[in-house]
A and B are shown apart, each in its own frame.
Chain A
Amino acid sequence: MSVDETTTARSTSLADVAHEPGAAKPDPILVADHVVRRFGGMTAVDVDHLEVQEGVITALIGPNGAGKTTFFNLLTGFDTPNTGEWTFQGRSLSGKSGAAVAKAGVVRTFQLTKALGRLTVLQNMLLASRDNPGENLWLSWLPFLWKKHEADSTEKAMEILARFKLDTKANDYAGSLSGGQRKLLEMARALMTDPTMIMLDEPMAGVNPALVQSLLGHVQALRDEGMTVLFVEHDMHAVRHISDWVVVMAEGRIVAEGPPSSVMKDEAVVDAYLGAHHDTDLGDDSLLDPAVLARYEAEEEER
């Protein structure tokens, strides 16, 4: 199947999906229900239902404080919800630790990049390798038991690093990389675990524009290899450019879903980002009229 055909297949797979929050997908890989996280009196996340389609790039967008990263942390076991359950490939992941979620095949990256500074780039990569017998304390002092795994992983790591143009830096400390290179390293490291689904928390944040293009290319390449991608992003250009489906969060809830071309025009999305009265002319004399103001306030109350 050529790339064009897969793209067509992908867009058709989502063609019949309703453009509404919590829409059912034909092949959902991740399904979340009633996920609620409260911090004191504030409800940070309150997601009734979300399905993430397998094999496509889904973007999770929303204004600051919408609860996107908190939702990410809940799904990946880095935070505990007050209520809610979710499944990945039909198996429940709710209440599982971050390590268990990663073992199930969902690997994540962080908004503030977590390159392991005092390890070399290659060591960062090798650390991510799965089922390394040498990581067992009882076997660790017997190198002949893990030399082969180590050699195989090194080969694989160098291939991935070459793809991300980091292979020349393999023996440098990760702490010496630039911010953008660290983002690349984090993504490359995530790939070392052979994930089924990859969750990227603001992959473009703090990356210089020249590198954004190549990062976008890498994300698309992941999808074309069959991985499911869910990413949080602020950069609307990036979202429009690469995502197949967009989920919009505001004040902890999912307010809209749809393909990138139409979802930005959704009234709920515009409201979420700009406020419901963004096109009200503040120079309008009618605003001085108490009756009109009262009407706006009443509208605001209802929302």
Chain B
Amino acid sequence: MEEFLRILTQSAGEILAPTTAAFAIAAIGLNLHFGYTGLLNMGQAGFMLLGAYGFGITLTLGGPIWLAFLIAIAAGVVFALLLGMPTLQLRGDYLAIVTISAAEIVRWFGRSTLWQEWTGGASGLQGRYYKDPFHALSFLPEGRFALGPFEYINTGSDSWFTRIFAWGLVALVLIFVWLITRSPWGRVLKGIREDEDAVRALGKSVYSYKLQALVLGGAIGALAGVVYAIPLAISPDSMGGRTMTFFVWTVLLLGGAATVFGPVLGSMIFFTAYMFMRTGMRALSEDTAVGNVISTTQVEYIGGMLVGITLMCLVIFRPQGILGNKKELAFNVR
């Protein structure tokens, strides 16, 4: 029972974890792409990795922290422009192919020895190079603080300050996206999602709107990369990989595409369930006869497989996610 409580607490801790916030932000950006505009961006991890590099490298070279954030955002913007300008004229599926390969290119450049001096090559950038300027921003006193069963240090990697910052950023991005998508601008995006030719025939420059959505969502993705990297480290393989992209997709589709709070709720539920599943399986494997069938080392892989199965089931059985409007999706005539 005590063991079970420990697993529950550890899982519930994920609700406010910085990683959860990072994925919520990434999914909000992807929501702007896919949920509102219908752009199939399969390379959100590429945006995240670029943002993290921009942030980490600027601070490592001794730049001020505001510049580091600006460069992270600029990296996302430039990447979106590079991807969008040649491909947005084409039909939807091409963007998916281009973005997934572009994200891979970013990852391979990151892990190559070409710019090892700055990127740290395959082993990446250690957090100690860039964390100090961030922790210097903290307004919290020294020491630790416990809220119920959740106890963290005030300022540090896995700290209250990181959580406050991450979720504050989630709130800001959420308000921004809510404001722009409920406007006539957001309505044009939804029109493009439904049928871009119809919108073009009404005199709107579809290409320009798609590019705006791609750039905004990409810049938000880059910020998500920064939030993800702050408590951890920047490693191209764990951050820029396809797994990362598919996690973001799962988070978005779980919460509900084209909804305001869907990405946030999706991220909280996803990481809580993911943690519960892995710690639960590990405990079972260590303490019970299940260990004869599933060894503790296999738990991670099984966890990954179950995420894939969840994504498939979501798309097939509940494409509108948890918060999505069933009525809105019922008329998906195609």
Contacts and interface: CB of A to CB of B under 8 A. Distances in A.
B199 A127 contact: yes
Contact of B184 (A103, A114, A117, A134): A134
A176 B331 contact: yes
Contact of B190 (A103, A118, A193): A118
Given A103-B203, A176-B331, A114 B198 contact: yes
A111 B188 CA distance: 22
Nearest to A119: B190
B198 A135 contact: no
B187 A119 contact: yes
Interface string B66-83: 000000000000000000
A146 interface: yes
B309 interface: no
Given A110-B197, A118-B332, A99 B205 contact: yes
Interface stretch (B145-153, B175-183, B289-297): B175-183
B212 interface: yes
Contact of B204 (A76, A135, A190): A135
A140 interface: yes
A127 B187 contact: yes
A141 B188 CA distance: 14
B180 A140 contact: yes
B87 to A, nearest CB: 17
A172 B187 CA distance: 16
A118 B190 CA distance: 8
A140 B186 contact: yes
A80 interface: no
B301 interface: no
A188 to B, nearest CB: 12
Nearest to A76: B201
B333 interface: yes
Given A116-B191, A117-B331, A140 B198 contact: no
A140 B183 contact: yes
B180 A116 contact: no
Contact of A102 (B190, B193, B203): B203
A33 B330 CA distance: 46
**Closest CB pairs A-B (n = 6):** A175-B331, A102-B203, A134-B184, A140-B185, A114-B198, A140-B183
Interface of B: 176, 179-180, 183-188, 190-191, 193-195, 197-206, 212, 216, 327-333
Interface of A: 76, 78, 97-100, 102-103, 107-110, 114-119, 123, 126-128, 130, 132, 134-137, 140-141, 143, 146, 150, 173-176, 186, 189-190, 192-193
Given A99-B206, A141-B180, 8 more contacts: A97-B200, A99-B205, A108-B201, A117-B331, A126-B187, A140-B180, A174-B331, A190-B202
30 contacts: A97-B200, A99-B200, A99-B206, A102-B202, A102-B203, A103-B203, A107-B202, A107-B203, A109-B201, A110-B197, A116-B194, A116-B199, A117-B194, A117-B331, A123-B187, A126-B184, A128-B202, A132-B184, A134-B184, A137-B185, A140-B183, A140-B184, A140-B185, A173-B327, A175-B332, A176-B331, A186-B198, A189-B202, A190-B201, A193-B203
